[in-house]
Amino acid sequence: MDRNKGPIEGVEHPDHRVEFQLSPGDIQAVRFGISPGHELAHAVRILLRPEQHPLQWGWLRAVRERLPRDSFGLLVAVIGDDGYLPDFLTATPRWDMTPDAELAALRETALEPMRVDLGKMVQRSSGSRQQALRGMQEHPARARSMIADAWSEVWDAALAPVWPQLERLLRADIDVRARTIATNGLSGMANDLHPKVSWGDGAVRVSLRRHSEQVDCQGSGLVLVPSVMSSWGCMVLTEPPAQPTLFYPARGVTAGWARDQVEVAASLSALLGPARAGILMSAGTVRTTSQVAEDTSIAVSTASHHLTVLREAGLIGSERDGARMLHLRTPLGEAMVGAVL
């Protein structure tokens, strides 16, 4: 590759980047979301190229033998192993997005935009795969139903068993980012998302491999979406009617992320003791001292003592809200839980 030449669309170049231009209204509308559809699409790609994703090998060992072959094959045809990902596979990510809501949105996705997305995949494919995609493009209603059914079957086999662990990592990442905004501002948070993401002059810039674009968010804001399955780098959604979206790798993803929660709790218990381990494990969302005591079946005074020890160790942060004290894992606490995972 000649690095002296400018980037050409669709050809890898170190200078490719997407710029999300943010007006003051956009800055106020920057928000976080979760995307089960994005996670499943990249789970399919990981299964196609496992050697490139060592952080997922623990999950891979458990899932390979239970995949529904025909449904997986259909999703492979639609998703491919790299590059462009059809927009219709992911609804606009939201904080409260669930797998059921994602599947329901897929079953109702508009047919014409889906045909356009399938056409893009036709251009990027060949042979029997291209023929299959053309058939889907010609019969979009039938294709939508088949794709949704395949999505459901592959989800149940591949991600449903580990969704609690995966969702915990996603929500923990969002909690940390939100606290960074509160302490260091939006630019401080954006500059810490990923080495290929930067903030400056009213824009969020994302270095990509094959695509460059200037995106005016036009007051609709930007959705920031952590991902466990696309832990290798960043992706974007930019074409209307999709909401401008930036997917980035979630922090705290290690090779053991898919371990059962009971195993994780046992490992932390050996280090911290059962009570403090339980408090730390469940501190991914804000809770009062009374809620901590109730959740762990201990006295409020005992919960307060354990919280003080965890706070002094830098694992939990506490803030007063009127008469209540609110507790949440710190980034160090997230790192400890992530290290055990």
Query: How many C-beta atoms surround the C-beta of residue 116 within 10 A?
Result: 16
- Amino acid letter, residue 248: Y
In angstroms, the CA 296 to CA 283 distance is 11
Please state the separation of Cα 118 from the chain's center in Å: 23
Structure tokens at 200: 């400056």
CA quadruple 286, 255, 310, 163: dihedral sign? positive
**Res 259: pLDDT:** 66
Report yes or no: 267 and 248 within 8 Å, Cβ to Cβ: no
In angstroms, the CA 320 to CA 322 distance is 6
pLDDT above 60 (res 339): no
DSSP string, 18-70: EEEE--HHHHHT-EE-B-HHHHHHHHHHHHH-GGG-GGGHHHHHHHGGG--HH
Mean of the per-residue pLDDT values of the chain: 88
Structure tokens at 210: 């094959």
In angstroms, the CA 226 to CA 193 distance is 9
pLDDT digits (tens, 9 = 90+) for 82-110: 888 999 999 999 999 999 999 999 999 99
pLDDT digits (tens, 9 = 90+) for 8-43: 877 888 889 999 998 888 888 889 999 999 999 999
pLDDT digits (tens, 9 = 90+) for 136-177: 999 999 999 999 999 999 999 999 999 988 888 898 888 888
CA quadruple 292, 296, 298, 302: dihedral sign? negative
Question: What percentage of the chain carries pLDDT values higher than 70?
Answer: 92
Cβ-Cβ contacts under 8 Å for 14 (sequence gap 6 or more) = 3, 207
Report yes or no: 341 and 265 within 8 Å, Cβ to Cβ: no
Band of the pLDDT at 4, cuts 50, 70, 90? low
Structure tokens at 143: 């294709």
Q: Are strands 203-207 and 17-21 parallel, antiparallel or unpaired?
A: antiparallel
Which of 90-99, 142-151, 218-227, 312-321 ranks highest by mean pLDDT? 142-151
**Res 331: pLDDT:** 66
- 28 φ, ψ (degrees, to nearest 5): -70, -20
pLDDT digits (tens, 9 = 90+) for 116-137: 999 999 999 999 999 999 999 9
Lowest mean pLDDT: which of 30-34, 64-68, 277-281?
A: 277-281
Whose CA is closest to 39, among 246, 192, 194, 247?
247
Secondary structure letter of residue 94 according to DSSP: B
pTM, whole model, 2 decimals? 0.77
Q: Are strands 223-227 and 31-32 parallel, antiparallel or unpaired?
A: parallel
Report yes or no: 29 and 222 within 8 Å, Cβ to Cβ: yes
Cβ-Cβ contacts under 8 Å for 242 (sequence gap 6 or more) = 87, 92
- 182 φ, ψ (degrees, to nearest 5): -65, -35
The residue among 239 and 340 whose pLDDT is bigger is 239
Residues counted in the chain:
341
